[in-house]
Amino acid sequence: MPSCMDNSIRILKGVGERRAAQFEQGGVSTVGELLRRYPRSYEDWSHPLSIAEAPFGEPCCIRAAVLTVPAEHRIRRGMVLYKFEAGDARARMTVTLFNNPYAAARLRAGDVCLFYGTVGGGFTRREMASPKIEPDGGTARLHPVYRQTAGLTSRVIESTVARALERMEKESPPDPLPETLRREWGLCPLPDALRGIHAPPDSRALEQARRRLVFEELLVLQLGLLRMKSRGKAAAGMRTACDHTAEFAALLPFSLTGAQRRAISDCLRDMSSGTAMSRLIQGDVGSGKTAVAAGVAYTIIREGWQAAMMAPTEILAEQHFRSFSSLLEGASPTEGRSLRIGLLTGSLPAARRRETLAALAAGEIDLLVGTHALLSDGVEFARLGLVITDEQHRFGVEQRALLAAKGNHPHLMVMSATPIPRTLALILYGDLDVSVLDELPPGRTPVATYAVDSRKRERAYGYVRRHLDQGRQGYLVCPLVEEREDEEGGPAAAPLASAVEVEKRLADGPFRDYRLGLLHSRMKPAEKERVMTAFSAGEIDLLVATTVIEVGVDVPNAVIMVIENAERFGLAQLHQLRGRVGRGQHASSCILISDAQNEEAVRRLRVMCETSDGFRIADEDLKLRGPGDFFGRRQHGLPSTRLADLSGAGDLRLFQQAQLAAHDILREDPALEQPAHIALAEEVRLLFHQVGEQGLN
């Protein structure tokens, strides 16, 4: 049934065409969407302080009287200050307003007001610049602060939300959480939660509201993921009859680790069950995920089916193509025919593309490796039995589904070299079973890591030259491609190393006697391939690059890496970059250069120097940055939560409770068809609409 939440925001007083367009530009078109756009923080006006009690340098609320009428001071063209004195029984302070004649005109001597801002000055003379000012009376509460978008200030959003709450009072919306579930978990009704999150009278009401809304978010997320997982379990998949792992292992020039054998066994057990496999292979840098993928693909191919692997970049796809070709060289899935591996990327010449697609459709290609090009029209498999996606956080659930749709319920394996804390993995990959590669192949030694400031850059360069003089190779990583551009293409906030300028400076200076190469994301695919081929062949001593080398670059002779402006990278990304060295038999090192002084950056670099354990690094990254920015960008295809923060113990407990509730609900009502679950089913549908509703039906 329609509710007030479905109404357009245009029904709210004060929301005309222009304001409605501003809200719609920010993704808000209905009353429900407005009320579900929660504050990002709160200002505590609930306990006003005297001037003497106010702390220096921290936001606070002060109750004081206006003692003098604001006086206008014209500083320069376009800058007008309004200064006045405010005071209480014990102290006085000078208040300054900048270019705000409207606020100044409202103030009268004798008015008692609440001032919210930061106190400066000294103990004998206090001052407050640009405070928010409200008349004393009825405003001593927690004030919400909203993210300002499309010309909408936080105050405008707050007043519009207040009118939406008034509307909700007259027409209570349906509650997605059934009353029995709310009673079981001690949760308040939806109207109380929305009032408490937007206009909390005190911190207790805010906490009750937040707990209810976080529980609901996590419950809806878990219901969607569990339904996707159960759909995969229910889907009939091709059943493998034999385990060909021993045959595959005999092809290898090395021995599989115990973790690799366990992961392959997990996959083969899934594939012999008669239902479609959905499994995540998670392992640290260098743990041997490619060999696991090759082993599983080998069994599928020996059983008469085809396999496909999708990688996020051409460099990584080409690396996998070479790796699979090497690992499976000499294999003959059928008598009289060698195993054939194909490569499909966006830069493949048209003639070769046509040839590859024809061979694929005819069943003559056993394993096709490629990029997003695998998803394009015209890519048809004869008998697709296994889909593999690498660096899974670069893809979304929808892209996995699109590739799987090329076959009839093929088995699915996804791989990630980005270690993820287990709880966050349950959120990111809740629709998958998980195998963890917790062993490194023999001979892999930790990379020694050092953090230095720019004053030691020349010494670091000397250290690099010593390795190059021994016939080894190295990387120098920069955060930017060119100067005066940040990663989004805008002006940089501070001087940052750029690959183009650094390569030129090094070639003309400290590395003029060495062979340098340049690799970055703006180069054409053919040029990237030429550079990487030359580096792999030992024709380049030092490769100056951006994060384009983060994945898929495997050069065992590369033993030294320098990362400029290391504070610009997240821990997970630094760990991935560092994983490009230490891949051979030689001791390897990574030098992090940074002049950053802020506590978080220093802590991040310290962690990198202390450990090479990717899972510990992942835990630290989650604590420092939270799940919302765990990968440095939003997880593609992952439905986003608005309030939940799994880096805190409280929300982790709520996650566990919501997971239990989700299992109970689906055990009783797998399709969410019962009347008590209709509103909840609609919330699941709305959250997951971006990943394709076919996954929830």
Instruction: State the Cα angle at 552 between 276 and 368, rounded to 5°.
Output: 45
Residue among 444, 427, 431, 439 nearest 292 (CA): 439
Identify any residues that bridge with 370 across adjacent strands, giving them in sequence order. 310, 344
Q: What is the pLDDT of residue 648?
A: 56
CB-CB neighbours of 576 under 10 Å: 21
Q: Are 281 and 257 in contact (CB under 8 A)?
A: no
Q: Residue 350 class from Cβ within 10 Å (0-12 exposed, 13-18 middle, 19+ buried)?
A: exposed
State pLDDT tens for residues 607-652. Answer: 999 988 887 787 777 666 554 444 333 343 445 567 876 655 567 7
- CA dihedral (226, 232, 234, 237) in degrees, to 10, reads -160
Q: What is the pLDDT of residue 327?
A: 87
Q: What is the pLDDT of residue 487?
A: 42
Who's near 620: CB < 8 A, 6+ residues apart? 571, 603, 604, 607
Q: What is the pLDDT of residue 427?
A: 60
Q: Are 94 and 76 in contact (CB under 8 A)?
A: no
Q: What is the pLDDT of residue 127?
A: 95
Q: Are 653 and 214 in contact (CB under 8 A)?
A: no
The token duo for 305 is: 């089916």
Q: What is the pLDDT of residue 359?
A: 95
Taking 50 as the pLDDT cut, the residues of the chain under it are: 485-494, 627-638, 690-697
H-type helices in 277-421, by residue range? 289-302, 314-327, 350-361, 397-404
Give the whole-angstrom CA distance, residue 608 versus residue 617.
Answer: 7
Q: Are 560 and 472 in contact (CB under 8 A)?
A: yes
